[in-house]
Amino acid sequence: MSGAFRIPGAGRFKQAKTARFSFDGQSYTGIEGDTLASALLANGVHLVGRSFKYHRPRGILSAGAEEPNALVEIKRDAARKTPNVRATVQELYEGLDAQSQNRWPSLSFDLGAVSDVASPLLSAGFYYKTFMWPKAAWKSLYEPKIRAAAGLGVSPDKPDPDHYSSRYAHCDVLVLGGGAAGIAAALAAAETGVRVILADEQAEFGGSLRFESGAKIDGQDGFAWAQAAVAKLAAMDNVRVLPRTTAFGYYAQNFIGLVERVSDHLKAPGHDLARERLWQVRAKRVVLASGAIERHMVFADNDRPGIMLAGAARTYLNHYGVAVGRNVGVYTANDSAYAAAIDLKKAGVNVAAIVDLRDNPTGPVIDEARALGIEVNFGRAVIRAGGKLRVSSMTVQPKNGGGERTIAVDAILMSAGWTPSVHLFSQSRGKVAFNDETKRFVPGTYAQDCVSVGACNGTDGLSATVDEAYAAGAKAAKDAGAKAAKGNKPKVDASESWSRGMLGAAPGAGPDTTVKAFVDFQNDVTAKDIRQAVHEGMRSIEHVKRFTTNGMATDQGKTSNMHGLAIAAETLGKAIPEVGLTTFRAPYTPVTFGAIVSHARGPLFDPTRRTAIHPWAEAQGAVFEDVGQWKRAWYFPKAGEDMHAAVDRECVAVRKTAGLFDASTLGKIEVVGPDAAKFMELLYTNPWEKLEPGRCRYGIMLREDGFIYDDGVVGRLAPDRFHVTTTTGGAPRVMNHMEDYLQTEFPHLNVWLTSITEQWAVIAVQGPKSRDIIAPLVEGIDMSDEALPHMSVREGKICGVPTRLFRMSFTGERGFEVNVPADYGQAVWEALWAEGQKHGAAAYGTEAMHVLRAEKGYIIVGQDTDGTVTPNDAGLDWAVGKKKADFVGIRGMARPDLVAKGRKQLVGLKTKDPKVVLEEGAQIVEDPKQAIPMKMIGHVTSSYWSENCGRSIALALVAGGRERMGETLYVPMPDGVIEVEVTGMVFFDETGGRLNG
Amino acid sequence: MLLIRCPYCEEERPELEFRNAGEAHIARSANMAGESDDDFEKFFFIRSNPKGIIYERWRHMHGCARFFNAVRDTVTDKFVMTYKAGEPKPSKLPGAGK
Ligand SMILES: [Zn+2]
């Protein structure tokens, strides 16, 4: 019913409902509780994918997260296509739709498999050797071809419709891994009352108890004990139990990243459910109980579908009730494969033979295998596997040579031993140590407050594991502040124990260069490749890894690293610890971008800042531009107007009558206190002590190196109070710069700094009619030129609300900047707009603002300066207080290179053809006929069409610019050279009379 | 993510709340304008960049907003201690035997 290979009475899902699913379009039936892998195997399907490089047919190797081969695409709908899903992890649901990858046109007939035949071309280092010349061909020819041929799945082409959530958590003891060790540790910690989180990557807790049929704890079957213990933990208030949750990264100070798969196992997850949840956990103590991963045997054609890890075959039988074949062979260097053979034999599967590389192993499992009538061969190797799309035989030979014998099988279970999962320990910056006796890397020196228990610590046997884990859990709780434990240690009644195994290539992987004995299945790295890397001069394991790509696939070499290392060490003639282990890096298993990004995408990716006047501008049909996080009105097109027409009209209106401009985004900082003027003296180049209250000054801020950092108009409201404005983009860093000096260099000054950017909406009213527009709405401020001259500030009321009214100009016209509390910004704007309409005023945007200021030669810091421009370079020497003894930048700007002749200086440029508008950023040369590369003497910083001037205008940084007035220079462009004349920076109203016009 | 103890808040807070602000204990001259080119070079450009213990400035940007000093090991990334701005460079570090 749910597959011909399902064994009646076996497995743990006897009452489960069936679930229909499809693989490559073919329908199958599985049961709820299956993984896609177990469901396929139940239906006799082993061939599930093609390999990355050689396109060799591949089957299911494992029953867990280490799977290198069985990567499939799971499709829910057009937008929900997930490539590279491990079939061994994906839980089955009704209607699941899976597709194989890396094959064309079909899984059983793949044209790409020609690369298997042509494999001498694709040996170790082939990327580096074959495709690097000619260089130009890499981009156009090689890379697309390799990507198409060797792609790992296809990414979806639509936006991800799912949502992902994110949580922070704190706990006293975080237990990673929910096998016997993790559960025992969690029980010990939880019984003390401290906060415990227990996480496991599987849907069900139990770890290797899923397949260890011989385990008994507290009188129960091991797996049943695990379920009962976890149920007890889950019911405790101080415990959080997280199944389907993988700890992918161990970061500084016990900060752990975990991903919980919330709904990928559900048939139709509602949109109220996140797909995945990112947990960022800070734990006082961490218990690592991550278990061990079985290694395969390295022999010729060990990748044929049907060849799998012995522990995986046992899991499929004991947990899922699935036989992986009807006539299986076993190839091992380790006792654990015997246990698999015994379980399968007892379930009625024929075990053709056990081939054991060891010479004369003894032990209860060996005796039991023999007692069951299984043929056992010692000192022999499987030198070759037969079959292509499915293994059909194994060829056996005494390991020191001799006669071959071929045995027909439909599956081979293999085990070279178990590798402790030290990934998270290693990520925590702990140093592993090599145990020469057991040939394992185990945790050595700890770098963080964590402890490893059980198989990941190299502890063998269930009883020792539970003892160690329970003690470690209790100690972790105590170290985290627990009082005393009051629980009972689980009692192990029966367990299994295995001896060690082997590392590296078995005799069957011999030096024969045509043999493909895979070390890394996912990246198609063979034993031969690793030997070749050493022969070609790679000495460090990190170089061998990169040259062969061993362990660099998405499985990160969980099954292959130790074999690769051992083969490299053997070839180098060195001991394994001398060669060293490659670094383990996060993530432990692949993590979706969705989980990491969580809600921070689309409009929530970055905050959007809008001014109080934004809704009005929007209603007027303004086009906005992004300035940092701000949305600023760029221009206000009327019907039929393009950008140029709108900007021209806005510029003309300002100079003819008046314009209104939303300047709210300007940075604003209030500098207050008895020493406010002293502080301003130190932070700006200008003198401030003598600036009278009620007056304003254009200030320049430098960095200590003497270069311009920011600028803005500063109003002195009172002897102890300055209203400082900064550039829109510069506000946060100027505030930081000021705070830095105030707190650390000038802490003796009695000053407070307050960011007031968002407290005040700012409406610039500029133009000959500006005073006429404002005056009717203002109370308590004398608006006459005598009482309120250019560069002054008054406090009063406008439209009945408080205002700081600046008379200042960034256009060269008579102008005002009306500051009102942000809540009144739009109302005051609308009142001013209504007044403005009587005079024919226009609203203008940032583009017109830029043109108008450029017509007057007013610079924009960050556009006309670039962090290497001094006040002198910018023609702003007049703003530097010559008599001042100190200010930030005073020494830096006196450095020899900064006062040398020939520095780039800001000047104006006029194109010889007034209709030609230069490109900002364009380079400037003296002689356009010189050979390429030409000597560039400067570049254009600002350039616009000026309707008011009837021509184009530009500002530029030019070497020795102020000594070049009237000179002709050249701007070479792709479609011809543009002639320009060097001029002063003021293009309009050179005498400045209009400021009072 | 590191945990950093703010000496003003007297609490360990996640790294996200802080900004590094460069090496500490580089005093700005009281007679800045009179500094020689060499002295200015040392003050502005030259940094120790040690492998091991570094004294550096941090700001509790998204907390109390105060600048403070910290002693950190550049090899392990671990903070040895933090102290308030203006306090002298500690002559003895906690955990150091001498
Ligand atoms: Zn703080």
pLDDT at A717 over 50: yes
Confidence at A102, pLDDT banded by 50, 70, 90: confident
Which residue, among A388, A325, A526, has the nearest Cα to A47 in the 3D structure?
A: A388
Whether residue A109 has pLDDT greater than 80: no
Residue of B nearest to A883 (CA): B33
For the cut 70, the answer to whether the pLDDT of residue A133 exceeds it is no
Q: Do B1 and A892 touch (CB under 8 A)?
A: no
Q: Is residue A883 within 8 Å of A687, Cβ to Cβ?
A: yes
pLDDT, residue A484, reads: 78
> Tell me, what's the pLDDT at A293?
97
Sheet of A411-415: strands edge to edge? Answer: A307-309, A411-415, A327-332, A350-356, A376-378
Cα B21 to ligand 1 centre (Å): 15
- Give the pTM: 0.88
Any B CB within 8 A of A736 CB: yes
Burial class (CB in 10 A: 0-12, 13-18, 19+), A907: buried
Residues of B with CB under 8 A from a CB of A: 1-3, 14, 19, 21, 28-29, 32-33, 35, 37, 40, 44, 57, 59, 61, 65-67, 76-77, 85-86
Write the pLDDT tens digit of every residue in A395-453.
Answer: 999 998 899 999 999 999 999 999 999 999 999 999 999 998 888 999 999 999 999 99
CA gap A553, A933 in Å, rounded: 44
Query: Considering only alpha carbons, which residue of chain A is nearest residue B22?
Result: A740
Cβ atoms of residues A75 and A25 within 8 Å: no
State yes or no: pLDDT of A507 exceeds 90.
no
pLDDT band at A511 (very low <50, low <70, confident <90, very high): low
What pLDDT does B98 receive?
Answer: 39
Task: Give the pLDDT band of residue A747 (cuts 50, 70, 90).
Answer: very high
| Contacting residues of B for A704, CB less than 8 Å apart | 28, 44
pLDDT score recorded for residue A630: 96
Q: Which of A743, A890, A891 sits opposite B67 (nearest CB)?
A: A743
Reported confidence tier of residue A732, pLDDT bands at 50, 70, 90 = very high
Q: What is the pLDDT of residue A353?
A: 98
| pLDDT the model gives residue A629 | 93
Average pLDDT, chain A: 93
A927 in contact with B, Cβ within 8 Å: no
Nearest CB among B1, B44, B59 relative to A255 is that of: B1
Q: What is the pLDDT of residue A964?
A: 98
Chains A–B, number of C-beta pairs less than 8 Å apart? 52
Tell me, yes or no, if A894 comes closer than 8 A to chain B by beta carbon.
yes
User: In whole angstroms, how far apart are CA A885 and each of A514, A871, A895?
Assistant: 81, 17, 16
Q: Alpha-carbon distance A606 to A986, whole Å?
A: 39
Q: Does domain B18-84 match CATH 3.40.50.300? A: no
State how far the Cα of A352 lies from the Cα of A325, in Å rounded to an integer: 11
Give chain A positions within 8 Å (CB) of B44: 704-705, 892
Please answer yes or no on whether A704 and B35 come within 8 Å at the CB atom. no
Q: Is A15 on the interface with B (CB under 8 A)?
A: no
Tell me, what's the pLDDT at B59? 98
DSSP class of B73: E
Which band of pLDDT confidence, cut at 50, 70 and 90, is reported for residue A512?
Answer: low
3-state secondary structure B53-69: EEEEEEECCCCCCCEEE
Q: Which residues does chain A have within 8 Å of residue B18's beta carbon, measured at their own beta carbons? A: none
A360 touching B, CB under 8 A?
A: no
Q: Which residues contact A68 (CB under 8 A, 6 or more apart)?
A: A61, A62, A520, A521, A522, A553, A555, A558, A559, A560
Residues 860-889 of A with CB under 8 A from B: 885-886
Q: Nearest-CA neighbor of A660 among A626, A723, A611?
A: A611
Do B1 and A251 count as a contact with CB atoms less than 8 A apart? yes
Residue of B nearest to A733 (CA): B61
Which chain residues have CB less than 5 Å from ligand 1, an ion? B 6, 8-9, 60, 63-64
Residues of B whose CB is below 8 A from A744: 57, 67, 85-86
The answer to whether residue A745 neighbours chain B at the CB level (below 8 Å) is yes
Q: Pick the closest to residue A221 from A211, A230, A231 (CA basis).
A: A211
A362-401 pLDDT per residue, tens: 999 999 999 999 999 999 999 999 999 999 999 999 998 8
Structure tokens given for A442: 């185990």
Place of tokens 């020792």: A464
DSSP A845-898: -HHHHHHHHHHTT---TTTT--SS--TTTTT-GGGS-TT-S--TTTTGGGSHHH
- The residue of chain A with its CA nearest to that of B3 is A253
Tokens of B94: 């906690």
Locus of tokens 């002590």: A689
Say what percent of chain A tops pLDDT 90.
Answer: 85
Report the alpha-carbon distance of residue A407 to residue A400 in Å, rounded: 19
pLDDT of A498 strictly over 60: yes
Q: Amino acid letter at A333?
A: A
- The secondary element (H helix, E strand) that includes residue A21 is strand A18-23
Identify the pLDDT of residue A125: 64
Find, among B35, B28, B33, the residue nearest to A885 by Cα: B33
- Which chain B residues have a beta carbon less than 8 Å from that of A282? 3, 14
Report how far ligand 1's centroid is from the alpha carbon of B63 (Å).
Answer: 5
Q: Which amino acid is at A80?
A: R
Question: Encoding tokens for residue A85?
Answer: 């899903």
Whether residue A134 is preceded by a cis peptide bond, meaning omega within 30 degrees of 0, is: yes
Q: Say which of A255, A447, A743 has its CB closest to residue B85.
A: A743
B chain contacts of residue A895, beta-carbon cutoff 8 Å: 37, 40
Residue A516 CB neighbour total at 10 angstroms: 19
Domains of chain A, each with CATH number or no CATH: 1-158 (3.10.20.440), 166-292+420-494 (3.50.50.60), 297-415 (3.50.50.60), 662-853 (3.30.1360.120), 855-996 (3.30.1360.120)
Contacts of A908 (CB under 8 A, 6+ apart): A857, A953, A954, A955, A956, A982, A983, A984, A985, A986, A987
CA atoms within 13 A on the CB side of A78: 3
B chain contacts of residue A447, beta-carbon cutoff 8 Å = 76
What angle do helix axes A846-855 and A643-656 make, rounded to 10 degrees? 60
At residue A930, φ and ψ (nearest 5 deg) are -65, 160
Residue B37: pLDDT over 80: yes
Q: Which of B8, B28, B79 is best to mutate for the A interface (most A CBs within 10 A)?
A: B28
pLDDT range class, residue A271, cuts 50, 70, 90: confident
Q: Is the pLDDT of residue A53 over 90?
A: no
> Order of strands across the sheet with A405-408?
A380-386, A393-398, A405-408
Q: Which pair of structure tokens corresponds to residue A297?
A: 């045997």
